[in-house]
């Protein structure tokens, strides 16, 4: 393997100042409730809110501020996400079986959480797609109450209209104008207006991620998200322009985005790198994308696609593209095991998954794809076990159970079985 371009710096750091800042914000929300949320909205978002909860009238008015083509695109994407989530749910089934031991029936039930909170980040541009990914999937899973929140946009004095429309189309039961670590605290511990949730999902900046880390245990979370990532496996058949623009599509997310190109053909690699520089001048997001590419871009030349697959599994990226000879692309895909979402083919940019293909775009980052999954229907569903035991079943299980209890020094456990036998 030959390193053609190395990253200049790490893309994510957790420092003591961040930890303390988030802890202070969360303590204030616990103590002051809504007043803290409104104060932080004024401080960070530069808006004075009448209240935290967004009224139905505000949501309805948002439709008049969004062009019809955008509304239709949101409806289309919601349909795609809903269809995929519904098909995923068919894989999750209750189980109830007769054990090999007579008198014992065992199984499990798939039970949705009662209440979840979906976080929708706000940055330089609105992110209605993130609203759809969390809310639609939660509703399909059967969550009884789905709350959604996003920070205020100063020019509107509330959540961006496109995001409000997406939240409404997705089916949010409650909408709150709040963001940052304070929103995570409100979800986790509740305020006068915000009911406590059981599970928090959705990406956010490093303050949101740190807040989710700190509330984990008091409430469930989907994952701890880092900067956006893409790894592209490409061979001699790859189109350098396609490779380059897909790198820039991730680079424009964040100056800290992680960008990796793994190629088997040096001429294609060099052409792709040249295209990155050329295309940078064509996109309005050049200021962000150029920093990300120059600081964090990594480029490797490998001997073959087998080595490329091994390297990709070591990186375990959020997004993994395979731009290789179509006659072997499925074979290569089968060798890949660690990724958040896989995009196979010369015409499969990550952008399709970000918005309209259907699978969720809230994905594991920072190599956590080695052991975790993106948001899906199962994120919102618990698997609760059960056992139905008759007198005969208790007798059939008694001896090995009592022996285990004695080995582990748990004598009341033993006697909970023994006394039943004696009765």
Binding residues for substrate are 228, 250, 253, 319, 354, 408, 413
Q: Has 319 been annotated as catalytic?
A: yes
Specify whether the backbone of 381 is left (phi greater than 0), alpha (psi in -120 to 50) or beta: beta
How many CA atoms within 13 Å lie on the side-chain side of 193? 21
How many CA atoms within 13 Å lie on the side-chain side of 281? 4
Q: How far apart are CA 216 and CA 264, in angstroms?
A: 42
Secondary structure class of 240 (helix, strand, coil): helix
Burial of residue 418 (CB within 10 Å: 0-12, 13-18, 19+) is middle
Q: How far apart are CA 5 and CA 301, in angstroms?
A: 10
Q: Has 108 been annotated as catalytic?
A: no
Tokens of 46: 């530069």
Specify whether the backbone of 121 is left (phi greater than 0), alpha (psi in -120 to 50) or beta: beta
Catalytic residue among 318, 321, 329, 361: 318
Tokens of 169: 């189309």
49, 245 contact by CB (below 8 A)? no
Catalytic residue among 160, 319, 346, 361: 319
Residue carrying structure tokens 């209240």: 51
Residues placed in the known binding site for NAD(+):
119, 182, 205
**DSSP, residue by residue, 208-226:** HHHHHHHHBTTBEES----
A 10 A CB-CB count for 117 gives 29
| Residue 153 DSSP class | B
Enzyme catalytic residues: 318-319
């Amino acid at each position: 393997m030959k390193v053609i371009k190395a990253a200049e710096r790490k893309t994510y750091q957790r420092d003591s100042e961040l930890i303390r800042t988030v802890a202070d914000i969360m303590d204030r929300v616990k103590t002051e409730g809504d007043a803290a949320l409104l104060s932080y909205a004024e401080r960070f978002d530069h808006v004075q809110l009448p209240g935290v909860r967004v009224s139905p009238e505000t949501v309805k008015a948002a439709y008049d501020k969004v062009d019809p083509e955008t509304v239709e695109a949101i409806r289309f994407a919601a349909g795609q996400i809903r269809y995929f989530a519904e098909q995923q749910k068919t894989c999750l089934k209750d189980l109830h079986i007769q054990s090999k031991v007579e008198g014992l029936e065992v199984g499990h039930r798939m039970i949705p959480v009662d209440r979840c909170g979906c976080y929708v980040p706000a940055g330089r541009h609105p992110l209605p797609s993130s609203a759809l990914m969390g809310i639609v999937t939660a509703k399909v899973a059967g969550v009884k109450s789905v709350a959604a929140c996003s920070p205020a946009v100063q020019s509107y004095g509330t959540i961006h209209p496109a995001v409000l429309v997406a939240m409404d189309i997705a089916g949010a039961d409650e909408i709150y104008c709040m963001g940052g670590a304070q929103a995570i605290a409100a979800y986790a511990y509740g305020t006068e207006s915000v009911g406590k949730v059981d599970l928090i999902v959705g990406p956010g900046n490093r303050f949101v991620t740190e807040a989710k880390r700190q509330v984990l245990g008091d409430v469930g979370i989907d994952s701890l998200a880092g900067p956006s990532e893409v790894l592209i496996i490409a061979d001699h058949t790859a189109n350098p322009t396609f490779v380059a623009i897909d790198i820039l599509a991730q680079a424009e997310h964040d100056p800290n985005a992680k960008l990796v190109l793994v190629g088997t053909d040096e001429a294609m690699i060099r052409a792709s790198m040249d295209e990155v520089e050329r295309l940078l001048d064509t996109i309005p997001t050049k200021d962000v994308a150029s920093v990300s590419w120059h600081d964090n871009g990594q480029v490797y030349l490998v001997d073959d696609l087998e080595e490329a697959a091994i390297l990709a599994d070591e990186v375990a990226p959020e997004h993994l593209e395979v731009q290789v000879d179509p006659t072997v692309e499925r074979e290569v895909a089968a060798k890949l095991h660690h990724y958040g979402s896989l995009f196979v083919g010369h015409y499969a940019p990550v952008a399709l998954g970000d918005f309209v293909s259907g699978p969720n775009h809230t994905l594991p980052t920072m190599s956590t794809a080695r052991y975790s999954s993106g948001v899906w229907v199962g994120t919102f569903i618990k698997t609760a076990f059960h056992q139905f035991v008759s007198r005969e079943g208790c007798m059939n299980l008694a001896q090995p159970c009592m022996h285990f209890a004695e080995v582990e020094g748990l004598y009341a456990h033993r006697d909970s079985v023994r006394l039943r036998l004696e009765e």
